[in-house]
Amino acid sequence: MTIEKVRDFLKGYGKDKYIREFDTSSATVELAAEALDVEPARIAKSLTFKNNEKCIMVVTAGDRKVDNRKFKNEFGIKAKMLSPDEVYEFTGHRVGGVCPFVIDLDKVQIYCDKSMERFQTVFPACGSSNSAIELTLDELFKLSNALKWVDICK
């Protein structure tokens, strides 16, 4: 179960005790926002895209969509999302619990989108379809090993 891997990883930063697990699903932005009683925009969703033999993961605000032109300008390729099987193959997380933690950085390049900058804290998943953690933007950037902040959303 990947939540246990995420828990072990976050324990090294003293953050494991802040993981929240829910009795209901938090697999979508809307369900996560409801479970946390926050606005959907504060859910940090992890989007995954094909990049030849690698994957690009962009963590964005829950209320934003990718702007294809901005994506191509930033990464030099067309935005092509991974299939659920590919998501698991690249990230080790199943759709609904995908997060930027415990990722093989040889296979995945992680970026944070500026759409989250309007918030003090956001809520990414923790490797399962019923978990989340509240993190500051600096914590999210550091713990995800993000390469840089990008602006690829509408």
154: in domain: no
Identify the bridge partners of residue 57 per DSSP, sorted by sequence position. Answer: 48, 110
Say what the pLDDT of residue 2 is. Answer: 86
Q: Does 94 map to a domain?
A: yes
Count of the separate structural domains present in the chain: 1
CATH number, residue 121:
3.90.960.10
Six-digit token pair at 123?
């809520």
pLDDT at 52: 87
Q: In what order do the strands lie in the sheet with 43-51?
A: 135-136, 121-124, 43-51, 54-61, 108-113, 149-150
How far is Cα 32 from Cα 11, in angstroms, rounded to an integer?
A: 22
Positive or negative CA dihedral for 110, 116, 119, 123? negative
pLDDT tens for the chain, residues 1 to 154: 589 999 999 999 999 999 999 999 999 999 999 999 999 999 999 999 999 889 999 999 999 999 999 999 999 999 999 999 999 999 999 999 999 999 999 999 999 999 999 999 999 999 999 999 999 999 999 999 999 999 999 9
- Enclosing domain of residue 45: 2-149
Report yes or no: 57 and 110 within 8 Å, Cβ to Cβ. yes
Instruction: Please indicate, yes or no, if residue 28 is contained in any of the structural domains.
Output: yes
Specify the pairing of strand 131-132 against strand 43-51: unpaired
Q: The whole model's pTM is what?
A: 0.96
Token reading at 35: 């479970």
In the prediction, which pLDDT does 1 show? 56
Pairing of strands 20-21, 135-136: unpaired
